[in-house]
Structures are given as structure tokens and as C-alpha cells.
Structure 1
Amino acid sequence: MQSRNSSAAHVASIETVPVGSPAFEMTGDDSIALGDFLRRWWNAAIRRIYVVLLIVALCVGVGIIKTMLTTPLYSTSSRIEISREQKNITNVEGVDQANGAYDAEFYDTQYALLKSRSLAERVVSDLRLAENASFLSAHGITSDSAGAPASLQQRNARAVAAAGVLLGGISIKPVANSKLVDISYTSPSQQWAATIANSWPRTFIAANIDRQFATTADARNYLENKLADVRAKMEQSEQALINFGSDRGIVKIGGGRDADGRTQDPQTLVATNLEAVNAALVSAKTDRIAAQSRMLSRNSEASPGGAENGGIGALRAKRAELAADYSRLLVKFDPGYPEAIALSEQIKSLDMSISRESARIISGKTAAYTEALQRERELTAQVSALKGQFDRQQRDTIQYNIYQRDVDTNRQLYDALLQRYKEIGVAGTVGATNVVVVDQARVPGGPSSPNLQRNLLLSFLAGIFLAGVTVFMLESLDQVVRDPSDVQRVLKLPLLGTVPLSEGEVLQEIVSPHSGLAEAYFSVRTSLALSTSRGIPKTIVVTSAEPGEGKSTTALGLATAIGRTGQRVLLIDADMRSPSLHERLELSNDLGVSNLLAGSEDFAAMVKETSIRGVSLLPAGPMPPSASELLASERLGRLVAKFSDMYDHLVIDAPPVIGLADAPLLARAVEGSVFVIESGDVSTRAIRNALERLQVGGTFVLGAIMTKLNISEHGYGYGYAYGDNQKVKASNA
């Protein structure tokens, strides 16, 4: 019991390298993973090569038969140019206007129109295809008997069928980076192929012109109705304007229209009168001020009025002369001198005349001032009255302008609609089109289909595809591990190595250091050395899911590979139900494991030396009544501990896991187990069940070894080294 516990403690002390570490797999980029994926499915295809060849041959045969039975078809094409802008002969815009921002939408629309059923029906109607026996027979459309007239329903049915045939045979192919479009038609008849391909663009052009005329007619009808409505609205708005102006006494003088057709703001009669009266008032104020200035002047002589009065000037000049004469007389004579008295009287008479004239002038100035003042007051009153009337009209003008703008808007809309109505009338009468036929279709010289080479290629590719699908389904249903990469991918176990399928004597190949088998087991030994931090585990159990997977051969090969490095290895045949190692090594099986587990203590007498360097064998011994009971005893742990002290390594060949308890019991007593998987023989479900049974008991699985690997099915990736070694072996022989 103590030895068994120490063995378990020894197992727990081992530091293992985790799955997926560099010890078990090489990290690479995606190209390596892709290469593995392709290689895996290539190997699967090689394994099922006869299925692949059968499917490909069947598909190619079907393609040949179908090609031979297919009716020959003839194709030809015409080419047209579709311009974005339509030729404008009249220089007047039509209903449809070009917009470069929607070129893609425009051309997509044209392509759809070229494939429309309405165009096909028009071609059928133009060429009278529904009544053409040649067309109907060439395209497989059933026609009426020769002597029976066709009813309307039958003719319509033939027309619908003919349109469907045309749509099925027509092909619209735009030429890249151009305005050109190829219209191709495929038909069993060479002549009809050319006829339809040439008729299609002509009918398309005619349909475009008819659609243009129809659109123009619809637009003219629409504009006529809108013109009538706008005319009525314009008359109503003008009548409302006149009525409002009459009611409010608004009289507009002058005015006109600007370039946009809007009425310019004219002056009203009140505004004109106010402007004129205000100007007269300003003039009257000026005259009143001047008259007042003249009136206030006391010195008539100094005043402009006195200076300008010719009568007063003459009187003053005469008085001045008389005064001068009077002064000369007084020098000689006395004032009583008669002549002096006469002069004095004349002077007095002149002074009275001057006074009267001055008084008259002053009275005239006063009257002029009074008249100017009265005129100013009258004009001021008129201006005040007109200002009040103008203020009322200004408030009324707001509503008047609203009516005026309504009139202007309706008039502009009416003028625009009338102009557009006339333009569409002119543009609609010109049958211009934006589609031009560039190349006419010619009668084809040979059939376009069936193409034997293309059909063979397609059949071959279809066969490859179906074969791939079949291989994939078969591989999916075949739940076995065939490829070494499946060990890590499917079972999540490290792959310790692969062992090729041996065609010769196994023991000789294992012993021969240059054989592929020996090299494979030495590679497994190297992987085991890297599987833990302490190198190769001291005690190892080799088992498998089912019998016949090569576990005994693997145990022998692994022990041989370890012994070649100078280590002392004890190979224990623990498969007491079906022992085989003693036969391969040509040794007796009279004593062995069963005896030791049954109570024998003579450990050294049970071990037999072999011819292999460093390898000793502990045979299974006589078959016990119950091998599981012996393995479940405490002596198993003591046995493992005893031999561990005597040898460097113990390699135990255990029975299969499925259906037996021996392997889990043995695996609990050692440091780790090696799981053997035969390539393409055992289902993954059985392998998983076996691994679960081992792991439930706390067994550490070091990794898996794939045996009996067929090199020819897996390519150089797993067989190049073995092939080279076989050449070395042959040369040495």
C-alpha cells in the first residue's frame, strides 16, 4: 500500500507540457493551416479515388449526351447607341429634360425598356409573328391546323407565347464605358435570329417616339386645363383689384411692368395732386416772404420797389433839377423873387406828387403781401386736406398691393404656362430620338450552341464538385481517425508520432536502426522525452481502445527505442488475457505477471533477457481466472515500485480499454499512459469513450500514437522519411 501511494505521488510530481505547446505542434501562419486542410481532403479524395472517377465520368457522359441531343441555336446581334441628350432640332425643350446627375438611372431604365414585355409584344405585332407558321414551327410554338381558322383567343395565346419566346431569346449587353448596347437574339433559325435582332432596335425607336408623342399630348391636355384655371383666377384677381380701387377712390397714374412681369408701383392721383399743391405752397410761401419784406421796408427809395419804379424816379430827377435852379436863384435873388417863388411852387408840387406816388406804392406792397398771405393759407389748407386723403389711401394701398401682387402672380403663371404650351406644341411635332442603330445584325454562319468543349468543361467541373460533395459526406459519415492531424483536431490529444504500415517482419524492422518502423518509434521516444519537464516518464502504460490496433508492437518498439539510448528498459506484458510479446521475442511464458500478482516474491526469476539491447521482458505468465481482480490488488503498486528501482524505465503493454477494466487499473499505477490509435479502423466515438474511462480514473494521457498509417494515402508529409530509410535499407542489403 505504501509503494502504491509513493507511485501515485511520483505521478503527481511530474510537470507536464500542456497540449498545444511547441513539444507537440508547430505554430505557423494561416497558409500552413490551409495547406493542412487541403492535404487532408486531398488524401480523402485519394482514398476514394474510384468514387471520384465514377462521378466525374458520369457527369462528363451526361454532358456529352446532352450536347448531342440539344437542338443547335444561332445567335446574332445588332448594336445601337443611346444618347443621354435627345437631338433638339427646334431648340425648344420638350417634356423630358436631361440631367447628367442621373445617367446611371437613365441607362438602367433604357436597358429595362429593351427587355420589357410590351416591346416584345410590339415586335410580335409588327412582324405578325403570331400568324407566321415558319416562326412558330422554328420556335416550337403549336400552330392551328391548316384548314381551321384561328379564333381570337387562340391568336392571343399564340401572341403571348411568341412574346415569351422573344423575351427568352433576347439579350441586352451594354458595352462597358460607352453609350453602345448590343442586342442579341438566339433562335433555332438563322434567318429569324437576324430578323428579330434587326427588328428589335427599330421597334424600340418607334416605341420611344410614340411614347414621346403620347407624353406631349398628355402634357398639352394638362396645360390646357391649367391655362383655363389660371385664366379664370387671373380675371377674378383683376376684377377684385379694380373693384377695391373704385371703392376706395384709388386712381393710379402711369406705372408699367418690369422684366419679370411685375407691375411697377405707380403714383396715385391724390399723391400727384399733393405733390403739385405742395410745390405751389412752397412757391406761395416764398412770394409771401418777399412781399412781407418789401412791405416792411419804410424807405421806398431804398427799397427794391422804389428803385424800380420809373415814375418816382422821373419826379425825383425833375425835383432835383428844380431844386438846383432854385438854389442858384437864391444866390442872386431873394426868396420873394417871382421866379424863385415859381420854382418853390414847382418843387412843392413835385414833393406832393412824389408823396402820393410813394403812398400808392406802399399800398400796393401791402395789398401784394395780403394777397400772398391769403394764397399761402389757402394752399396750406389744400395740402392738409390732401395729406389726410393720402394717409387714408396709404392704408388702403396695403390691401390694394396685395390684390396687385395676386394679379401679377396669376399673370406671370399664365404667361409661363402659355409659353410652355406653345413650346411643347412645337417640340412634340418633331419626331426626334436619342437612339441610333450603329450596326445591323447579320445572318449567323454557324450555331452558337451547344458548345461541346464548354459543355465538357462544365460537366467536368460539375463532376468535380459533386465528387467533392460526395467525399465530404462520406468523410463526415465515416467517423474514424484516418489522418494524424485528426488526433489534435478531433480528439484534442497531443500526437506523439506516427507509425507506418509494415509489410515485412515486424521484429526485424523494429530492431533494424535504419528501418522506417525503427525511426518512427525513435521519433515517438523523442516526443515522450519532450512531453514532461523530467524527460521520458519512468513508468508508461501502452493501451488502445480496441484489440488489434498495434499496442503490443508499439510497446515493443518504444522499449527498443529507449533501450537504444543506453537505458535499461523492462517490457511488461500485462495483457494476461491475450499475451503476445513472448511469442514475438521467442521466449517462454511459464512464469510472469500473473504469478507476481498472485503472491510470488521471486521478482528476478520472472524477468527474461531478450536479444534487444537494453530490453528485458516480464511475460504475462499463466492466464488467471480473473485478471481484473489481480490488477485491483495492492501488489500491482508494489510490483511497479519494485521494478522501478531495478530499471530505468518500465513499458507496460496493457489490454484494450473498451469492455475491460485492466487498462484503467494499470494506468493508475504508472506516471502516464500512451494511447495507440490504428489509422482508419476505430471510430472516434469508441476512442473518446476509452479516453474518458482512462481520465475518470485520474490517468494522465501523455499523448497518442497513430499506427498502421498508409503512406501512399497521406503523401510525402508523413512518408518521405520512411521512404528514404527504405532506400538505405535496400542499399545496405
Structure 2
Amino acid sequence: MNVASTNFVPASGLNPPSPTRVEAERLPLLKQYMRVAMRWRYVIIGITVAALMLGLVITLLMTPKYTAITTLEVSRESNQVTNFQGVERETSVADQEFYQTQYGLLRSRALSERVANQLRLVDDPEFYTRFRYSSSKPAFDLVGGRYPASGRPERQRVAGEILLKNLSVNPTRLSRLVDVAFTSPNAIFSSQVANAWADNFIQTNLERKVQATAYGRDLLQRQLALQKEKLDQSQRQLVGYASAQQIITLPAQSGGDGKTASERSIVVDDLAALNGALATATTDRIQAQARYEQIGRSGASTEALRNLAINSLRQRRAELAADYQKLMVQFEPGYPAARAIQSQIDQLDRSIAREENRVTGSQLADYREAREREQALQTKVNQLKSRYLDVRRRSIQYNIYQQEVDTNRALYDGLLQRFKEIGVAGGVGINNIAIVDTADVPQRPSSPKLGLNLALALLLGLGLSAAVAYALEQIDEAIADPAEIERRLGLPLLGSVPKVATSTPQEALLDRKSDLFDAYLAVQTNLGFTTEHGVPRSFVVTSTRPAEGKSTTAFALATTLARAQRRVILVDGDMRSPSVHHLGNVDHDRGLSNFLAGEEEIAPLTFTMAELGFTAMSAGPIPPNAAELLTGNRLSVLIERLLETYDHVIIDSPPVMGLADAPLIASRVEGVIYTVESHGIRSSLVKTALSRLASANARIFGAVLTKFDARKAHYGYGYDYGYGYGRSDGQSARARAG
């Protein structure tokens, strides 16, 4: 049977994803970080404690500093003693430019140098020593305990910079208050500087306003002179034109509402008066005409009806007519008494007619008089209209000159009024800044703050330790977790074997309840899914370097398969450093090397592991060059002959790195089981070894993680949960010790 022809197909495609890999992929990111932190917890704790200690030491060594605070109120509008406005532009309610300007002025270099001069700090050596300032410039060379006068400008600049460096301006949000805080090692000095800063800021503010007012007054004075000259010129031009055109106007008069009307022409006044008289005459004429036209043929006009004489005559006639009618009842019209009464009635009718004619004549005369007066006034008005239109034509240029005069007079009056206001305001003084709270001498140092510094040290330590842990995690190539077998190496995980330190592997395998036996039983179970016929009939167990647990893995798989009623033979293929014979307490005088050298009998080369139920073959005498024995076909012949007797042939191979033995052996079997020591081998080295096996067309079934300690794993607990199931705590503890 030649099994070498089946050794070229990777086994990874036949295996379903292991539970470990699925668990690692589904593990929450935060939980992964927590478990990484648990792995490097001693590093994190050490760095954090060191940072805390360093923060404590630095805090204790720091010089205490005291902060004094002066509170100012900066008003947007000035508190004015008079009702006059300043020259500076008013800022809008929503404009923060004004306040930002004030904050900038509080931190100005000129103000800091002014405070330094007032407190006599420029020439005070103690001031520079207090703030640990030293300089090699000539301005700071002491001569007789004093600084040279020539270096005063330089010292003044430095003193201002020192004060500014220790000053803070803190506006109170949504208010007009601002805190001016100064910090120094001396509490009294801090309060002195804070109060002096506020006082000098108010003084400079007032000086700046006075300077601006004086400048504005000088500018207005020059503008007043120019405007006065323009006003005089425009007035002379107006009077000259009025004289030339004979335009006579009356002075302006104040109306009842307090407003002053403009100048008016005489023609306008005459026209207004005649126009009013014409309107009255027209009304009178209309009324006289109406009275005259109301006279009827019977003379029953309104005037006639109101005339007393006519009314008396008519009353007398009515009485005579009544007497006449009484006589007509008894007598004829010829009766003398009747004729006498009729004669009186006729006489009364003639008298009434004469009176009515007189009234009518009077009304006609009134009508004619009213009409003549109206016509005369109309003629005069028409004449004045012509004169007015002529004056209007000649007044166009006059009005232009008049407007120019009015404009110049208004500008001159405004400038004059403004000049007077600035003069008064400049003498009174305007201030929009007030001290709310003066700085008291601080009783407690503002820094250092032990709690804050320790908190910052803690945060710094945690951040630094996290960075170090992350860096160590990135550069650490050790295979620490079962999940990393698949993630880093790309191999299916057959199982993870716990580290055993309290007993030998043989003793642990004899105990069927041991963690080691359970682990290798799981490896055997997963190995059954690597081929179509279950557990491979021939396979090799190897590793990257010695002492990774490959011999123990080969021995354990032989034991578990034997307990599954399989016929198993374990062949020691490591002819350079054999180890299988130690498990059977025999020597390696006869073994694999003898058969590879040409011996045909197999039975004399084997020995029985009675306790474990399988057969073993030692490596035999160590040959001068083991690789030369493996290059032939004798190993393939041996495997074929052993498979005629046994169900499984397990070969304990030498390590891969540095030797040609493992690739030669791997090419003769169905596949390879690769052992990887947990926390003991770099993944890059394992990848190099795997590439050597791949170049030999070896089929790798999967990897076994040996000497696994869950407490040192990246993800902590979770991978040894099943090893102690169903046994006492004491047994579990003994099995997992180490």
C-alpha cells in the first residue's frame, strides 16, 4: 500500500470551524480588550503605580503657589455723569467685539509694564529670583547690589512678560464680570499685583477716553471754523441775489406748535389777504343774488315777509276784509258802509305794493353792489397772481441759495453743540469699568493640588500602560491562545493540551479522568474528521523545535487509540534524539534505523507497552546521518508492512527546523499533526517550519497546542472549562497544577 500518493491535499478544507475559532470571532471587542488587560495586568499595574508614585513625588517637591483674584465689571455702555455721549463708537448688544477688546487690553504688555513700574518690580532682584528668572544679559548684572540704569528698558520688558505669564483673565459666562487672577509663590505679593492690575486698568481706560475726547475736540474746532466760513459765504450770496432781484421776504414766525415757519414774500401775504376778501365778496354776492331771485310776482319775498310795515298793513287789510264780508251778508256792495270799507282795502293794497317794490329795489341794489365788489377783488387777485408767478420764477435760484444757507447753518449748529458737549464730558470723565471685589490675601495655596495631580498621574499611567500593553501585544509572537493557531498560522486546531507539572505524561495518561487524557481524547475525536475514513492510518507528529510536546502527543494519541480497541504502533522516527524507548524502559539497540539500513524482520525491532495497550518501535542505533537513511523507499515499505498488521502507524518525528528528517518522513505518510508549545514558540518561526513541510508536499491535518496555561492566555479563562468536569476539586486541582 503506497500512501504517499495521497499526501498532497491540504486537510484544512475537510475540517469544520472549531468551536474555539468561532468563539474568538464572536467575542465582543471590549471583552477582548479586558482579557488582553488581564494578560498584561502586572505590566499595567506596575506602570500605573510608578506613575502614581512619580506624581506624588513631583507634587511634594513642587513649590506652593497662591492665586489672588480681583473681580471687575466691564459695562458695555459708560456710566456717564452727564447725559452726553462719548466720541467712541457704541457697540451693539449682540456684538462681542467690545468685550474681547477689553480682555485683550487686560493682557496688554503696556498694562503689565505699568504695574511693574508702580510696584517697583523692574529694579527689584528679589522679584526675578522669586520667579526663578536668570539671564546673562548686561541688564541683569548686579553692580553694588543694584541693576544698571542703562538696562532698565530691557528689565521692564522682562518684568512685564513675567507678570503676564502668571496672570489669567477669566470672563464669567453670560455676564459682564471678569476675574483677574495672579499666581505667585507669595500670597501677599499675589494680592498686591491683582489689585494693582485692576486699578491701573481703570486708570488707563480713563486716560484713553480723555485722549480720545481731546482729539475729538481739536478736530471739531477745526471743522467749526471751516463750517462758519462756508455759512457766511452762503448768506452773503443769498442777500446779494435778493437785492439784485428785488425779492422782499418777511421774517419767519413761530407757529403755535413751537415750529418755526420759513421766510415768506410780501406778495404772498397780499395775495392771501385779497384771496380771503374775494372769497368773502363772492359769498356775499351769492347770498344777495339768492335773495333777489327769491322775489315772486306777488312780492312775497323773504325780506317782504319779515318787513314790519308790510305785515301791519296786511293785518289791517285782513281785518277790513273780514268786516266787508260781514256786511255782504246783509247788504249789497253798493251799501255806503261797504263802499267805504272797500275803499280802505284798496288803499291798503296800494300801500303794500309800494312797500314791496321798495324792498325789491333795496335787494337789487345790494346784489349789484356785491357783484361789483367781487369783480374788483377778482381783478386785484389776478394781478397779484401774475406778480406772484413772476416772483416764483425769480425765487428759484433764491430758494437754492436759501437751502444752502439752511444746510450750512444746521451743520454749524450741530458741530457747535457737539463741541460744547465734548468739552463738558472731557472735564467730567467717563468710566465703564468698576471693581466688584478686591483681591484678598489667599490663605491656601492654589497649586499643587495633590488630588488633581494624582488623578492626572493615574490617567497618564493608565494611558501609558495601555499603550505599552498594546505594543507588547503587537510585538508578542508567542502562540498564547488556541484561537491564534487558526488566526496566525492558518491551521485547523485539533485541540489544546493543558500543562501538567505534578506527574509524568505516562502517569497522567494512565488516569482516564486526568485533564491530559481528556485533552488528547478531544484531539483524537477531531482527528477523526480529517479524512474520509476517520482517523488517518499513518501520520507523523512533529514540531518546530525540540521540547514542544511532540513526543508526548504521539505517545498520548497512541494511548487513546489503543483504548478505543485499535491496533496501534508508535514508531520513534527521531534517530538523532530518541525518546520512545524511555517510555517502555528499554534500550534502543534495535529499532527503526536497523530496518532502514536493510534488516527485513520487524518483530525483533518492536516492543510492547502492556499498560497502555499498544506496540512501539524505538529509533534504533543512532546512525551517522539519519537523513540519508530516510531518502530511500525503506520508510514507505516499513509503513506498508506495518499497516498490514496494525490499524494506525504513528511516527514521532524530529523537529522541522534545521533538519531534513521531518519533511522526508512527512512525505511518506497520510499527513502531519503539528504540535505548538503555548507561550514557548514564535509564530514567525512556526510559519517558516510549515513552509518547509509545504515544500515537501506534506499534508497537515492540524495543530495541537501543548502546555496550555489558561491563566496566561490572552483571553484569560474559558478554554479549560471542560477538563475538570465530573471530578472532585482536589482531583481537578492536581490535574491542572503547574
The TM-score with structure 1 as length reference comes to 0.69
- Alignment equivalent of 1:198, drawn from 168, 192, 201: 192
Matched-pair identity in %: 27
Paired with 2:670 and 2:364, the residues of 1 have a C-alpha distance of 151
> Does the CA contact (< 8 Å) of 1:513 and 1:519 recur in 2?
yes
> Does the CA contact (< 8 Å) of 1:78 and 1:197 recur in 2?
yes
- Alignment equivalent of 1:163, drawn from 143, 160, 164: 160
Q: Which moved more, 1:379-388 or 1:159-168?
A: 379-388
Paired with 1:515 and 1:672, the residues of 2 have a C-alpha distance of 28
* Cα deviations by residue, 1:37-78 (Å, 9 ceiling, x for unpaired): 1123236679xx8xx79x959x969996x899x6x8453343
- Alignment equivalent of 1:78, drawn from 68, 84, 98: 68
Name the CA shift for 1:615/1:210 in 2 (closer, same or farther; >3 Å): same
Offset at residue 595 of structure 1 (A)? 6.8
Aligned to 2:122, what secondary structure does the other structure show? helix
2:615 counterpart residue number: 616
Offset at residue 128 of structure 1 (A)? 1.0
Offset at residue 658 of structure 1 (A)? 3.1
Residues 49-448 of structure 1 aligned to structure 2 (within 5 Å) = 73-83=63-73, 85=75, 88=79, 90=81, 116-139=108-131, 144-147=141-144, 150-170=147-167, 181=179, 183-187=181-185, 190=186, 193-219=187-213, 221-222=215-216, 225=219, 277=275, 280-281=278-279, 284=282, 287-288=285-286, 290-291=288-289, 294-295=292-293, 297=295, 299=297, 301-307=299-305, 331=334, 365-366=363-364, 368-373=366-371, 414=414, 418=418, 421=421, 425=425, 429=429, 433-438=433-438, 440-441=440-441
Name the CA shift for 1:379/1:719 in 2 (closer, same or farther; >3 Å): same
Paired with 1:173 and 1:319, the residues of 2 have a C-alpha distance of 116
Offset at residue 592 of structure 1 (A)? 5.5
Offset at residue 543 of structure 1 (A)? 2.1
Offset at residue 663 of structure 1 (A)? 3.7
Offset at residue 441 of structure 1 (A)? 0.6
Root-mean-square deviation (CA, aligned residues, Å) is 6.5
Paired with 1:298 and 1:257, the residues of 2 have a C-alpha distance of 51
Name the CA shift for 1:354/1:553 in 2 (closer, same or farther; >3 Å): closer
Residues 525-604 of structure 1 aligned to structure 2 (within 5 Å) = 525=524, 528=527, 539-576=538-575, 578-587=577-586, 589=588
Paired with 1:667 and 1:387, the residues of 2 have a C-alpha distance of 136
Aligned to 2:17, what secondary structure does the other structure show? coil
Name the CA shift for 1:301/1:433 in 2 (closer, same or farther; >3 Å): same
Paired with 2:89 and 2:629, the residues of 1 have a C-alpha distance of 102
Name the CA shift for 1:184/1:213 in 2 (closer, same or farther; >3 Å): closer
Paired with 2:413 and 2:512, the residues of 1 have a C-alpha distance of 108
> Does the CA contact (< 8 Å) of 1:668 and 1:698 recur in 2?
yes
Offset at residue 250 of structure 1 (A)? 10
Paired with 1:13 and 1:453, the residues of 2 have a C-alpha distance of 57
Paired with 1:557 and 1:252, the residues of 2 have a C-alpha distance of 134
Offset at residue 125 of structure 1 (A)? 0.6
Offset at residue 126 of structure 1 (A)? 0.9
**Residue identity opposite 1:206 in structure 2:** N
> Does the CA contact (< 8 Å) of 2:252 and 2:261 recur in 1?
no
Paired with 1:648 and 1:420, the residues of 2 have a C-alpha distance of 124
Aligned to 1:302, what secondary structure does the other structure show? coil
* Cα deviations by residue, 1:272-323 (Å, 9 ceiling, x for unpaired): 9679837944862673365166247452622334445678789999999999
Paired with 1:27 and 1:310, the residues of 2 have a C-alpha distance of 133
> Does the CA contact (< 8 Å) of 1:209 and 1:433 recur in 2?
no
Paired with 1:180 and 1:479, the residues of 2 have a C-alpha distance of 58
Show structure 1 runs of 5+ residues with no match.
Answer: none
Offset at residue 698 of structure 1 (A)? 6.0
Aligned to 1:131, what secondary structure does the other structure show? coil
* Cα deviations by residue, 1:621-671 (Å, 9 ceiling, x for unpaired): 566788668767777677667756755544332333334455445545655
Alignment coverage as a number of residue pairs: 700
> Does the CA contact (< 8 Å) of 1:120 and 1:163 recur in 2?
yes
Aligned to 2:14, what secondary structure does the other structure show? coil
Offset at residue 158 of structure 1 (A)? 2.8
> Does the CA contact (< 8 Å) of 2:581 and 2:588 recur in 1?
yes
**Residue identity opposite 1:35 in structure 2:** M
Paired with 1:101 and 1:438, the residues of 2 have a C-alpha distance of 29
Q: Which moved more, 1:230-239 or 1:702-711?
A: 230-239
Paired with 2:419 and 2:257, the residues of 1 have a C-alpha distance of 18
* Cα deviations by residue, 1:534-578 (Å, 9 ceiling, x for unpaired): 875555432222344332232223333444455444333334554
Q: Which moved more, 1:504-513 or 1:353-362?
A: 353-362
Residues 645-656 of structure 1 aligned to structure 2 (within 5 Å) = 647-656=646-655
Q: Which moved more, 1:462-471 or 1:614-623?
A: 462-471
Offset at residue 515 of structure 1 (A)? 5.7
Aligned to 1:686, what secondary structure does the other structure show? helix
Name the CA shift for 1:290/1:199 in 2 (closer, same or farther; >3 Å): same
Offset at residue 194 of structure 1 (A)? 0.9
Q: Is 2:703 the counterpart of 1:704?
A: yes
Aligned to 1:39, what secondary structure does the other structure show? helix
The TM-score with structure 2 as length reference comes to 0.69
Aligned to 1:689, what secondary structure does the other structure show? helix
**Residue identity opposite 1:291 in structure 2:** Q
> Does the CA contact (< 8 Å) of 2:572 and 2:580 recur in 1?
yes
**Residue identity opposite 1:684 in structure 2:** S
Q: Is 2:23 the counterpart of 1:29?
A: no
Aligned to 1:83, what secondary structure does the other structure show? strand
> Does the CA contact (< 8 Å) of 1:220 and 1:421 recur in 2?
no
